[in-house]
Structure 1
Amino acid sequence: MKLFSCFKREGKLYSSNNGVSGPKYLEQYSEHFESPHKILTNEWRRKLISNSGNSRFKIKYYGKRHDEYPSLIVSENFSPLKISVVDILTDDEILLFDGSIHGYNALFCDKYTLEQLNKRTESEIYVSDENQDTFEVIISTIHSINYNEEFIDEVEWIYDINQWR
């Protein structure tokens, strides 16, 4: 059982090594794998592994389960979502997503008070409908917005993944 079942397919396997760059902070915790789901040309997809080489994790989060789609974890009470995984063998934690520093809203839109940020303790452990609390984690990011073109008239300088422009 995976957190999201979109990767459950039978048939041909596709390599996750398509040359697309992913989040730099996750590169040391990821590896290529054979996927049963075709990878998009603008997608980065990897299997999460810990420093010890383990690929089984518990998922900790600050947020709530979506009412209509309970397999989704969403933010709550105007505080940004935060999700980490814990290696079940070593208890080492890996930050997967922090809505206050990752993504479009953190980069261009939202600002948070110290109170909002400090109260976010990842005290919830994700448990599936089948009562599983340990998972292999597949990370997928899709790059679809060209910030250079979208904001070029609004700012003098913008930093993309490699340089100031």
Structure 2
Amino acid sequence: MNITIPKTLHPYAINKRIEEECFSVIELQSSVGNQLFELHFFGDQSNDGYIHGLPPSFSNRLIVAKCIVSGEEIIIFDESLQGYDGMFCIPVSEDEKNNRPLKKLNFMPAEVTISFGYGIDYESEKEIYETNELGLFKLIDGRAVTFTQVQEDGFDWLIVSLKSQSGEYKEIINTELA
């Protein structure tokens, strides 16, 4: 089964599945086979526990999973580079991208499940996107990427949920990105 997810997560994705026809769902596993992570983030955590972006762009969330065994860090989501809005609609300055200190999420080490919503039919809308002379797709931040990367990173919904060893469940992101 071919599941669409960002290429950066391919080496860490296990238990891949499709849910509700347009959501690719994965669980995270580090390169040493561990499935428990501490989460670190840039953004603001509201009273309900969800992580939101900060000024000036409000499109600057960064979520990193840190393996509790090896210390390996896996970028789960970089809103300045991924998601439909981050790729095509909302520019984030280089200064803003480079100035996002991470905070540790106040939650015990947990298993991480990520759901990527792919509701945009890039194939049928291909001609509306600007390309360069090499056929690469031009993004809002000046990068040029392949059509495959547009399809993988251009998700329009993201859900990140955690489950502790004691069974406690927490969603930290459930947001539309288009």
Q: 1:22-74 CA distances to partner (integer Å, 9 max, x unpaired)?
A: 111101001116x8xx822222111100011000000000001134xx22111
- The answer to which structure has the higher strand fraction is 2
Q: How does 1:1-16 map to 2 (within 5 A)?
A: none
Structure 2 partner of 1:161: 148
Q: How does 1:40-55 map to 2 (within 5 A)?
A: 40-55=20-35
Q: Tell me which structure has the larger Cα radius of gyration.
A: 1
Match of 2:51 among 73, 79, 91: 73
Structure 2 partner of 1:21: 4
Distance 1:103 1:137 in 2: 19
Offset at 1:91?
1.0
Question: CA separation of 1:31/1:153 partners in 2, compared to 1, >3 Å: closer, same or farther?
Answer: closer
Match of 1:112 among 66, 70, 92: 92
CA contact (8 A) 2:39 2:64 kept: yes
Aligned residues: 136
Q: 1:98-121 CA distances to partner (integer Å, 9 max, x unpaired)?
A: 111111112111222222112112
Offset at 1:153?
4.1
CA contact (8 A) 1:74 1:81 kept: yes
Question: CA separation of 1:90/1:102 partners in 2, compared to 1, >3 Å: closer, same or farther?
Answer: same
Distance 2:129 2:35 in 1: 43
Q: Which runs of 5+ in 1 are unaligned?
A: 1-17
Match of 1:99 among 69, 79, 85: 79
Match of 2:105 among 106, 126, 135: 126
Does the residue aligned with 1:47 lie in a helix, a strand or coil? Answer: strand
Distance 1:91 1:153 in 2: 42
Provide the aligned C-alpha RMSD in A. Answer: 2.4
Question: CA separation of 1:56/1:42 partners in 2, compared to 1, >3 Å: closer, same or farther?
Answer: same
Distance 1:137 1:46 in 2: 8
Query: Is 2:21 aligned against 1:30?
Result: no
Offset at 1:155?
3.4
Question: CA separation of 1:117/1:154 partners in 2, compared to 1, >3 Å: closer, same or farther?
Answer: closer
Offset at 1:148?
4.1
TM-score in terms of structure 1 length: 0.72
Question: CA separation of 1:116/1:162 partners in 2, compared to 1, >3 Å: closer, same or farther?
Answer: closer
Question: CA separation of 1:58/1:115 partners in 2, compared to 1, >3 Å: closer, same or farther?
Answer: same
TM-score in terms of structure 2 length: 0.67
- The one-letter code sitting in structure 1 at the alignment partner of 2:104 is I
Structure 1 partner of 2:122: 147
